[in-house]
Amino acid sequence: MTEPSDPTGVPQQPAEQPAVQQPADQPIAQQPVEPQVQQQFDQQAQQQFAQPVQQPMAQQPVHHPVPMAPYPSYSAQFGVAPVPMNNNLGWAIAGILVCWPFGIPSLIKALQVNSLWYQGLPDQAQLSANEAKKWGKVAVIVGASLLGLYILAIVAYFVIMIALFGFAATQVD
């Protein structure tokens, strides 16, 4: 089939045929389609889906991720915020409850760990965490020792009182 052309040699488009009016109450899926339109649609679909899918070439090098330092950037390479280290806040709280003079420095150091970590200073954050743990342990040991001495002093007081005065309060003449 050749298409009609004008004297300049440019092919002319065939005249469009008027569209067939369908009743408005009939759904689009049930409306009949003209055979030429259906044939054009089928040809376009065949051309579009007949193209082979391009497979990746086997000779292309595979890029593996470069190993990184364990902190702070290890988990950041996956788009996850890095998790800060243990700040030993538990030791600080125990130190505050048992012996507050030594618990306060522990609490201060424990609260510095996260801010140092997020500032990109992991070494200083680790030092701060170690200091918090040290002062927390000192506070717990000193507090437990003082509590033990206090209990021992109360027991010794009652033993001395009983030894000096005996059971005079319980003896009847």
Tens digits of residue pLDDT in 22-70: 555 555 555 565 777 777 777 777 776 665 555 555 566 666 666 555 5
Tens digits of residue pLDDT in 106-118: 999 999 999 998 8
**HSE of 153, CA atoms in CB hemisphere, 13 A:** 6
Please tell me which residue, 75 or 161, carries the higher pLDDT value: 161
Report pLDDT for 44.
75
Q: What are 84's two structure tokens?
A: 């800060």
The CA R_g of the chain, rounded to the nearest whole Å, is 44
Q: What are 133's two structure tokens?
A: 């743990």
Report pLDDT for 95.
95
Residue 147 carries which DSSP code?
Answer: H
* Dihedral of alpha carbons 53, 58, 60, 64, sign: positive
pTM higher than 0.75, yes or no? no
Tens digits of residue pLDDT in 93-137: 999 999 999 999 999 999 999 999 888 888 999 999 999 999 999
Report d(CA 44, CA 9) in Å as an integer.
26
Angle formed at CA 117 by CA 90 and CA 104, multiple of 5 degrees = 35
What are the angstrom distances between the C-alpha of 119 and each of 72, 79, 112, 113, 142?
Answer: 10, 18, 11, 10, 34
Report d(CA 150, CA 144) in Å as an integer.
10
* Residues contacting 96, CB < 8 A, separation 6+: 103, 104, 106, 107, 139
